[in-house]
Structure 1
Amino acid sequence: MKNQTPRHTSAIHTSVRHSSDKILTGDRATGPLHIGHFVGSLQQRVILQEQYQQTILVADMQGLTDNGYHPEKVSSNILNVVADYLCVGIDPLKTTICLQSAIPALAELTMYYANLVSVARLQRNPTVKSEIANKSFGQSIPAGFLTYPISQAADITAFNGTLIPVGEDQLPLLEQTNEIVRKINAIAGENILSECRALLSKVPRLPGADGKNKMSKSMHNSLLLSASEKDISRVVKAMYTDPKHININDAGQVEGNVVFTYLDAFHTDCEYVENLKRQYRAGGLGDGKTKKILEECLQDLLRPMRERRLVLMNDKAQLLEILKQGTARSQEEANQVLHRVKGAFGLNLF
């Protein structure tokens, strides 16, 4: 199997598309990206860049909202994230890649918007509540983390984003963005900002290799796009299967079996995978064989990405130049939006 593409590439769901729509998406720069990112967003972006104006934001400032005391975790990963974008096929000639902290208008917009949102409204946001619980902040919630939805609203509006790729768990953030847009437009007395819509994918979130948590580098259950052959082999061999499937001839359970979840996500032959499931359920197919099939699949998928990424990381000047050029273009656009918002508040005095 060579140059395969995961089957979920075509599983993008959207409403009727409008040529005037603009895509805004991005990632926090807190570590290299993994295959969960690839399935969940990266492969979608490669397709979208052929159909829309697309901006991808390397969200380093938002990465600091829970890493403020360990900023090196963010600063050291900015170019890692850019390299990951390029190695999967995102083209800087078709997609604008920019750096959040290098666009001052984003921070200024965040400040203006913050005056229109109450702390109680932020605390009620389901996405924020869930993330606060997951991170066990207790009473020590960083203010930057609590105001994350306001910062995201600044990002979306600054680049005139109207179609935003998100998972269903992120929908409350877009709702809050549109609340802010309506408030700004009411103050201005005209529609100076556009509301946004969600671009939802049918692709389910890929679980971690342990089958118990979402994929996360900190939980040591992820597989990076830059994973070596040995890393891939190690992760696949340790993958969670059916604990009751002790002998090859035992009937096995496919549901909750991470190996089959990954085969569904990455193997290109759906009929072949369905046949494997039937064999596994009936008995006669061992975990060793299914893991071998999956490993071959992942090796073929990640090998060209790893090789391309190695070349990119050996030329960091090129990565910086791509980021610099994209940021310059984005800064012009964000400044125009900032000018309109300041005008709504009567602050364009000179």
Structure 2
Amino acid sequence: MNRLKCLIAPALCFMVFSGAVHAEEQTLHVYNWFDYITPKALEDFKAQNPQTKLVYDIFDTNEALEAKLLTGNSGYDVVVPSNVFLAKQIDAGVFQPLDRSKLPNWNHLDPKLMKLIEANDPGNKFAVPYMYGTILIGFNPAKVKAALGENAPVDSWDLIFNEENVSKLKQCGVTLLDSPADMLPLALQHLGLDPNSSNPKDYVKAEALLMKIRPYIAYFHSSKYMADIANGDICVAVGFSGSFSQAANRAKEAKNGVVVDMRLPKEGAPIWYDMLAIPKGAKNPEAAYAFINYLLQPQVIAPISDFVGYPNPNKDATELVDPAIRNNPNLYPTEAAMATLYTLKPLGRDAERARTRAWTKIKSGI
């Protein structure tokens, strides 16, 4: 439509041109973890924001997300990195700083938790916490008992890292996360070394430990274990805390006779935070703010915690969370357990390189 036609029919021109802009602003691209939100939360957001078309994609490792972000043009408006990866990505200039005036529900966040997160995001400038949790052991009580007897150390990393134990569990299936950033710190901790070690030689020792148990590991994956342990196809998995809550619920719903239990090992474990952030190249930041602010509502985030089995950082939502979740010390750690937990930090180049080399050997088994 040319300028003359616009002079003759200005109302029509307004409809055409404003419609084009409107269409461009319609699509919100969100990239989140596998099985990490309720369908109802997404449907309600779409109902409350009919002008926004929501495209929701999933990933199952931080490494997969980072590979997209570091290209500089991920195509996403909201992404959900874990805190350690977030810190590296902030340094790389991946995210745009938050405009808190567009997040009026920020006041629901727990100040104590926000202070802890400042270790990875100073001043809480770039990200909003979504969920947090730990890495722990999920297991099938009947199968573990059959393999190891009544005194199986299900509350200890010895269940995994002791070759005598894991060799007996091989028959029913043991799996590990497909993530060097999660698995190598656990090996270091088990060896009495700093989980955040910057010494490349320490990763050689961690590699040796994992290579000893490698023959007894069914596979490495960061989401497949959820369905497999719920179906009874494996008996032990190292995984994310809430994933075992989901698996237990799936088994109950399927009425397949499988019981899924979990333990936060007594020696301690990493505690992590998954963060909502807006990439610099986001094409629809206004819709991104609307989505994040929506998730900050206590009545929205509490049912998501119920579904995914993870605690959320919303101080006004805790009492709305199912007591079976909030009173489970393996999901909501006690104060005593919190003292054994540790946050992971970004590694220097040499240590990162050593960790990557170690993981390549561990995965290949060679």
TM-score (norm 1): 0.22
